[in-house]
Amino acid sequence: MKKIFRKTIILFVLFLFGAFLYFNRLNFEIIEYELEGKKYKLYLADTQKKKEVGLMYKRRLNTVDGMLFVFDKKTKPVFYNKNTYLDLEIYWIDGSSVVFKSFLPSFKTARKIIYISAPVEVDKVVELVVKNKH
């Protein structure tokens, strides 16, 4: 029994280390972005892989406020909170205008997977970490 437990722990640690290396290898660029008159520092998700990973597995952000997702053409993206540890304010953006705002709770807060989608086609989405919970 102890042998199985030890092997499970070792495999789990190896998995976490592999996930850490994989997600850090993406090298998110940090940009400054103005939103509703305020400037934010955001990770830039400008590739498909970066968009897929987003802010998953992040427990806190020390140097940035969130993430900017940029799409090549207008779309109605869907976001969800699987493996998301941060409560997020979602800004759906068309051109330079915010067309709608949504709240996406962390999985821990919601205790279930929640999906939200853009109410209209957009070309950008900003996720900002909520400091004070709703």
6 vs 88, residue with greater confidence = 88
**Parallel, antiparallel or unpaired: strands 88-94 and 122-129:** antiparallel
Instruction: Please indicate, yes or no, if residue 41 is contained in any of the structural domains.
Output: yes
Q: What is the mean pLDDT of residues 45-68?
A: 91
pLDDT at 134 over 90: no
Domain range spanning residue 107? 27-129
Residue in the block written with tokens 């929640």: 114
Instruction: Please indicate, yes or no, if residue 14 is contained in any of the structural domains.
Output: no
Residue in the block written with tokens 């051109």: 95
pLDDT digits 0-9 by tens, 46-56:
999 999 989 99
Instruction: Please indicate, yes or no, if residue 20 is contained in any of the structural domains.
Output: no
Instruction: Please indicate, yes or no, if residue 12 is contained in any of the structural domains.
Output: no
Instruction: Please indicate, yes or no, if residue 1 is contained in any of the structural domains.
Output: no
User: Can you give the pLDDT at residue 85?
Assistant: 93
Instruction: Please indicate, yes or no, if residue 19 is contained in any of the structural domains.
Output: no
pLDDT at 64 over 60: yes
User: In CATH, what number is assigned to the domain containing residue 115?
Assistant: 2.60.120.1140
Q: What is the pTM of this model?
A: 0.78
